[in-house]
Structure 1
């Protein structure tokens, strides 16, 4: 029989009051399935798409099991791939632990460690950390691990994508062997499978939907767009719809594209409505931009995938994928920024010819076709410039080589075809070596 309310989990009054104040009434499917085994002390592997209430699914039973502040050293460690997600988890802990005396500290790079060390020295029950900063502070003697009872790995698939596997193995060597382990991931890649084997002991597997399925509350659409300038024109056309596009995130695959899109929008709509966040932006700038977006001060956030996970903002009406992500799992996480907490949202993707390869892979991953829309007649379709045309052709060649190592490139194929049919190249003249015409001897 399914749990229907948070009271059914036998949480104490302090936690129930905090849940009520946060406005939660009915547990989400992942919470209903994951909370009981976590409360019982079992190892749990949770496969859950983003935006399903996954963070509360492990934070609430963790707080219940820890109950109150105790000693100086942490009893729970939560590992996160990005500082944004780490901050989001710590915010959740503060929200649900407000009527307890439990102490949480968040540790991440990008800032000097002095403040974080001072926080640890005050005494801590829960550490939320990125793997790199945790190891740095542990190796410097600022963290004692002997009291750890619970280890949580959140967004395990992103950790693997970001190359954290060696750091995670190092952390597993320095934490007590006897502990409860919780692993959460949106997808089940081969590397996640590998780390789960090293990490979990006979886990309870909790899956709330098919792997990598986008939230059912998100409507997806796709535009095939020939080039960068036409993408800008289409974006400008869509942004005219002020009434529908209330709050949106525009995802770009590089810092350069994100800055260019931001500069264009800033000229068009003014700096007071827009922010851009990526890895080159300082930590405080990123935090301030995310907070301004959460509070509704700004309407548009331009971001790279550094912000795709751990950005929990309600009422995001639209996500626009200005570029198709190369790490295909990031598509699920990007579009999961909208349609959160049972609300509806729209995800719109722009795809140039070199990105069609990734769209096919994404559709295979999510096991559905993304509906295609025609570019509206009012949008001017620009001619693709020579350099961009060459870059697209090179990218398509690289994709073909990836799938077929024997592929030699489009130019080579054309040349071979000409040789097979014995057609002369270069306007009928035969060229040998360095393309010099053969002269007849007199």
Structure 2
């Protein structure tokens, strides 16, 4: 630890280590760079007893191959005086060579959920001796849609200690971990920047989905006396084009796009033209393909989507002059991790506002099979066919559906009956 430069324990380590060593299931919530990976690496090294078993004792699930390599490097750095067998599983392609390597014996497996599941289904990953199942960067795994392989592996592992490490907790994450966690202990650590950045007034609205973002934007911008000039940021030019079509309750020329996707669409090539145009109220700007426009003189800035680079967001909200502006951000659950990184840089949390009572909140309807319902089925009792169509007699009507095996048996009986 000393050679690696660790002088004192971080808060997340102080608050979780004794519980992990004691065998509790943990949900550790802490920002990026707070020491979550080091926490579980040290816990595994302290708990893992030497054995010659071929089956792994610890399975660590991470979002991608880069994280697999980083976690393995951390283990190797902190276990220099121990003979640990550790293996990474990621990528695509054949699994035969991987299975042969696993059969030689391994203590710790670090893997992406999809790859671990693929090897497990081919009987190459033995979970019978597993003692700890760790899910790192859980919020990223949920964002990438890998909940199913995580849940399948967790249920297959049986009774083991579960450690979940994430930067945020939201409904989709809870839905995943509730399927295999029973009575976990949640430990949350907030580490904000030491210096508080001076910004414009910041407001945050948390909504369930993108359609509700559009509804909220429409709802707020009804007040044309307050919102005379508004810039709305989205991530792609395609989203900007679609958003301009979705905002239909405005007069022609009120909603425009900066550098529109198609040449025949209404828009501006420069933000200065928008500032001077009297009838133009809203300018939609895509982060993609546009350099940071000069926002001076714009009283309201909306972030309908958070940019991938937090520095881009900060450059728009940090106060550089005496001008006053209001920066309003809409986020869904899957954007909360990016929001936490921004708040860490700001040195404070953006206040969350209540949604208006009259806001229409779109909800995705799901059928009992957990599939999204997109088409309404109608039952038509009228006969199908042309003018010469006649319904079959009841005696000739087919009300059964034999499988191929049943048909084969019936055919054989006719031949030899």
Could you tell me the TM-score, scaled by structure 2's length? 0.51
| Equivalent in the alignment of 1:48 | 30
* 1:152, distance to aligned residue in structure 2 (A): 0.9
2:155 to 173, 183, 187: 173
Equivalent-residue separation in structure 2 for 1:331 and 1:106 (angstroms): 27
In the TM superposition, 1:240-259 aligns within 5 A as: 257=288
> 1:30, CA displacement in angstroms?
0.1
Match of 1:329 in 2: 336
Compared CA separation, residues 108 and 48, structure 1 to 2 (3 A): same
Alignment length, in residue pairs? Answer: 259
1:131 maps to 113
Q: What's the offset of the Cα at 1:143? A: 0.9
1 or 2, which has the higher helix percentage?
1
**C-alpha distance in 2 between matches for 1:218 and 1:111:** 48
Describe the SS at the equivalent of 1:199: coil
d(CA) in 1 for partners of 2:195 and 2:105? 42
- SS of the residue corresponding to residue 205 of structure 1 reads strand
Q: Contact 1:69 / 1:103 at 8 angstroms: preserved in 2?
A: no
By how many angstroms is 1:79 displaced?
1.2
Question: Are 1:96 and 2:78 matched, yes or no?
Answer: yes
Q: 2:43 aligns with which of 24, 45, 61?
A: 61
Alpha carbons 1:108, 1:129 under 8 Å: kept: yes
Following TM superposition, by how much is the alpha carbon of 1:87 offset from its aligned partner in structure 2, in angstroms? 2.5
In structure 1, list runs of 5 or more residues that go unmatched: 1-18, 235-252, 265-303, 309-317, 340-345, 348-362, 370-399, 407-442
Question: Which residue of 2 is the match for residue 189 of structure 1?
Answer: 170
The verdict on how the C-alpha distance between 1:113 and 1:154 changes in structure 2, with shifts beyond 3 A counting, is same
Residue pair 1:214, 1:335 contacting (<8 A) in 2 also: no
Deviations 1:180-239 (A, max 9, x none): 111122111012223333332322322222xxx75556858689787579xxx99xxxxx
CA shift for structure 1 position 159: 2.2
Cα distance in 2 between the residues matched to 1:333 and 1:142 = 38
Contact preservation (8 Å) 1:109, 1:132: no
Structure 2 vs 1, CA of residues 216 and 146 (structure 1 numbering), >3 Å: closer, same or farther? farther
Q: Kindly state the Cα deviation for residue 85 of structure 1 after the two structures are TM-superposed.
A: 2.5
Structure 2 residue aligned with 1:120: 102
Query: Which residue number corresponds to residue 154 of structure 1?
Result: 136
Deviation at 1:51, TM superposition (A): 1.1
Match of 1:404 in 2: 360
1:40 CA displacement: 1.3
- 1:232-287 superposed Cα distances (whole Å, 9 cap, x missing partner): x99xxxxxxxxxxxxxxxxxx99xx4xx69xx9xxxxxxxxxxxxxxxxxxxxxxx
1:208 to 189, 193, 196: 189
Please give the secondary structure, in 2, of the residue aligned with 1:331. helix
Residue equivalent to 2:90: 108
Q: Which moved more, 1:145-154 or 1:155-164?
A: 155-164
Task: Give the SS at the match of 2:39.
Answer: helix
Q: CA RMSD in A?
A: 4.4
The structure 1 residue matched to 2:180, chosen from 196, 199, 212, is: 199
Partner of 2:373: none
Q: CA deviation at 1:111?
A: 6.1
- 1:98-146 per-residue CA deviation (whole Å, 9 max, x = no partner) reads 2111121111225654664454233211111111100101111211111
Which of 40, 44, 56 is residue 74 of structure 1 equivalent to? 56
Per the TM alignment, residue 38 of structure 1 is displaced from its structure 2 partner at its CA by: 0.6
Distance 1:140 1:31, change over 3 A: same
Q: In 2, distance between residues paired with 1:218 and 1:141? A: 53
| 1:180 to 1:221, Cα distance in 2 relative to 1, 3 A | same
The secondary structure found in structure 2 opposite 1:182 is strand
SS in 1 for 2:38: helix
Distance 1:219 1:328 in 2: 21
- 1:31 aligned partner: 13
Unaligned segments of structure 2, at least 5 residues: 203-230, 234-257, 261-269, 272-285, 292-306, 317-328, 363-417
Please tell me whether the aligned partners of residues 49 and 215 of structure 1 are also in contact (alpha carbons under 8 angstroms): no
SS in 1 for 2:178: helix
- Structure 2 distance, partners of 1:119, 1:217, is 49
1:335 deviates by 4.5
In structure 2, distance between residues paired with 1:228 and 1:368: 32
C-alpha deviation, 1:178, in angstroms? 2.1
> Residue 50 of structure 1: CA displacement?
1.4
Greater Rg, structure 1 or structure 2? 2
